[in-house]
Chains A and B, each alone.
Chain A
Amino acid sequence: MSEKKKLRVATTSLAGCFGCHMSFLDIDERLFTLLEHVDFDRSPLTDIKTVTPGTDIGIIEGGLCNAENVHVLREFRANCKVLIALGACAINGGLPAQRNSLSLPAIFDEVYHSGFGLTNSLIPNDPELPLVLDQVHPIHEVVKVDYFVPGCPPSGDAIWKVLTDLLAGKEPTLQHGLMHYD
């Protein structure tokens, strides 16, 4: 059997809930088939902290709600040949973007000062904390994104379909039943 070179895949969750990564694991035993074709680079599955230059596929869950999200996204774009937006939040900001019509001071006030049951309220300002963006943005508004997989989360079957289409060198498509925005 000829050893075909494995593709290197990196994944991350930005302003997401890890639901898309959980759904990714829903491909179940097909993970073994996938591992015949790919190696994982930076990912919550490996705990590697940086993306290796020349990585073939980067998969991004979640949108951009703070400066660190933007930094990580740019690192993925700089080091991945193909970038995939996985799930509703990466595609349109999703649930976190529903804060976009509110001002940041109003949100901080509600969350840290005037909200129910708060005592000794302080807005966290440790220099290690990434600065919050004034609005949550989908990732294609900051870097070029090659493919999008909609869904909240996309089903394991939808993720599998897109990955196998890509591995087969085809343009990924989702037919009725796999294409979902909810």
Chain B
Amino acid sequence: MNPTFTLDGRAIPFLPGQTILQAATAAGVFIPHLCYHPEFKPHGSCKLCTVKVNGRHTASCTMQAAPGMSVESETEEINGERRALTQMLFVEGNHYCPSCEKSGDCQLQATAYHLGMMSPHYDHFFPNRPVDASHPEVLLDFNRCILCSLCVRASRDVDGKNVFALSGRGIDTHLIVNAASGKLADTDFTLADKAAQVCPVGVILKKRKGFAVPIGERTYDKAPIASVAVAGEK
């Protein structure tokens, strides 16, 4: 029989090497996350998946499960912290859902719904982030970037192209394109790249494909992210 840890009082079995997040998902328990993707090595940067392990905060996407661990996730305290992190992501970028092609399919938006985020709470930064429309097939809208680094990891580890990178530090961290011009058109990026499929928000968008699926009939319009995620993320 597999060893177990407890998550909010419930016994969760795990396989050696599994993280808390992986074991919880396999057991049908959703832990909110944005930079984690089941096909990629965890990055541990968004901190949405933070839980308390034996009373200490830790990212559940990077922490390996261990027998007898006591993990808290669905508490008022932890969800309040997750909501605050999500609100900070909203005010640091320019997230205008009504005019975004990703609305309804966006993990940031769906996570905010899950956390009951009724307002951004903080003052908005309204940063100036010009879009990159240079590529014939793909639009890059940096206004929506949450620095999850999934495109960086996909392009480097799967596509072998290293098209994207995170540059700068702290609040100045931003997504860049690895070309002398800084433009996507001057890379070998294509729509078939894994990196074109993994953006959880609306940064990497296929051109001339706007609103093919109407608002109201999209992934998270039909079911909340908690049930979509445990049913198997795309």
Contacts and interface: CB of A to CB of B under 8 A. Distances in A.
Contact of B97 (A85, A98, A152, A174): A152
Interface size grouping (class) on chain B? 20 to 34
B104 A182 contact: yes
Interface in A133-182: 135, 137-138, 140-141, 145, 147-150, 152, 172-174, 176, 179-182
A88 B97 contact: yes
8 contacts: A92-B90, A92-B96, A140-B119, A150-B119, A173-B116, A176-B223, A181-B113, A182-B103
A60 interface: no
A98 B94 contact: yes
Contact of A152 (B98, B123, B128): B98
Contact of B120 (A92, A174, A176): A92
A98 B121 contact: no
- Tell which of A101, A150, A173, A182 has the most Cβ of chain B within 10 Å: A182
Interface in A67-125: 85, 88, 91-95, 97-98, 100-101
Nearest to A136: B126
B126 A95 contact: no
B91 to A, nearest CB: 8
A140 B126 contact: no
B104 A92 contact: no
A182 B126 contact: no
Contact of A98 (B90, B96, B224): B96
B1 interface: no
Contact of A91 (B120, B123, B126, B223): B120
- Tell which of B95, B109, B112, B119 has the most Cβ of chain A within 10 Å: B119
B118 interface: yes
B126 A181 contact: no
B213 to A, nearest CB: 13
Interface in B85-100: 90, 94-100
Contacts, number: 72
Contacts of B129: 101
B104 to A, nearest CB: 7
B123 A141 contact: yes
A141 B98 contact: no
A67 to B, nearest CB: 19
Given A97-B126, A152-B98, A181-B112, 15 more contacts: A91-B120, A92-B124, A93-B126, A94-B98, A95-B98, A140-B121, A141-B124, A147-B118, A149-B118, A150-B119, A181-B97, A181-B113, A182-B97, A182-B98, A182-B109
Interface of B: 90, 94-100, 103-104, 109, 112-113, 116, 118-121, 123-124, 126-129, 215, 223-224
Contacts of A173: 116
The 4 closest A-B pairs by CB, nearest first: A152-B98, A181-B97, A148-B119, A101-B128
Nearest to A97: B126
B98 A181 contact: yes
Nearest to A85: B119
B35 to A, nearest CB: 21
B205 to A, nearest CB: 15
A57 to B, nearest CB: 16
- Tell which of B104, B118, B129, B215 has the most Cβ of chain A within 10 Å: B118
B120 A181 contact: no
A97 B98 CA distance: 12
Contacts of A176: 113, 223-224
A181 B124 contact: no
Given A91-B120, A176-B224, A182 B128 contact: no
Contacts of A93: 124, 126
